[in-house]
Structure 1
């Protein structure tokens, strides 16, 4: 059991909101669960998550120890676009998490990859072979390292911004410009720790966008990453008032129905770590994405 203690000084708001803004790495969902289980007390007594904190309140939080993560190979089908002795390029389906974490202990892409091949070890033990990631509900291309040589090369290319990563997104609203460049640093949200936000003190983030098609109230854009921050395209498009449609976190409630954000990693290019030959791959968006584009074109949304 891990214990945290907090004395309220000038923080204001609901109990769950105030605790989520602290450095305890607890989400509001986790806080709600801890309150329900009687593991959060205020001045020695139990309170509801809606309790408004007051200066001087003494808050004690007890977090049960979690079971250690295990990394097991699982026979899950993979859509492999290219593979050799050093690298794998695959098309990740929407809904699949890339690597195990406390909230997703199995059935991840890494579990599937371990069944298929030997992967390059990583400093983070639950990310073998993974040099970059895309969100659970984003589909599309990922490159995976099978050897230490490949990991070093692919990570260096990401740092040096020499590889190619292009996404398709259906976003809210229409544009007057044909293209644009978003330069806005990103950091973890101070309000909701599960979200990212544009923050002047955040890490540099640059996204280029190109308007492909426009429909009634929505647009199809191509987004090209210059950097690769967590939720970068989703945060940047929301920042310019064109959130990705279907996004459960950054889009408005009245959005396109689907299985999460309509965001697809369509094109991936990099220099082969052993031959230095340029490799480039593209895959079409999943069926649900293509069907939504048809509906928008026909005015059926």
Structure 2
């Protein structure tokens, strides 16, 4: 297998890759991002993402591991030195392989539900990439119909989100928009809105999640905005017996989601 070799960190393509890794503005401008690791790259391909350029370091990766990424004749294959790899890699344990991939559109208009009673997670303004990644892992585990992010604070292709989601950013149907746009989308689809909130709330186990449902969670610091609460069909709460009144948002979401899955018989 022949591949171009890059051994200088001053190479223009290396510099371009570093910009994509480090700058959300560059990712947005070019519609490209960096994905690292065999598992994550396989999930990206399975999710319909185009890997434009694959970089590999033979000191870390064997040639046989690359074959799965060569099915697309339009994928450029480039060998890099260990020095270049260490400069380009975001993580230390990504098996000597990474790629530049094309971003996808995450407009609400493109979301179609196969299920007549979809179960959706909505996260309003999640700030920490680690929380976004954890939410996406939970969504994948529960095979949710969609994850909608309202007023996103982090770029979806932030390396921290890809890492913390262990590639589940590629396995979920993800839509993004303003709070108002997502509320309008849910109402148009006749999806019941359940908001995780402390006021006027009902114990989550007493709610009917068998119907088309959206479970909406806010930030740990401030919760959901008033706009969501005004359009909520029912606020829900997880009763707590300790001294605090909140949990990590990804933990709370997981509890609510898997109660809905239990009710649905899955």
TM-score by length of 2: 0.24
Decide which structure has the larger Cα Rg and report it. Answer: 1
TM-score by length of 1: 0.22
Structure (1 or 2) with the greater strand fraction: 1
Q: Which structure would you say has the larger RCO, counting Cα contacts within 8 Å and 6 or more residues apart?
A: 2
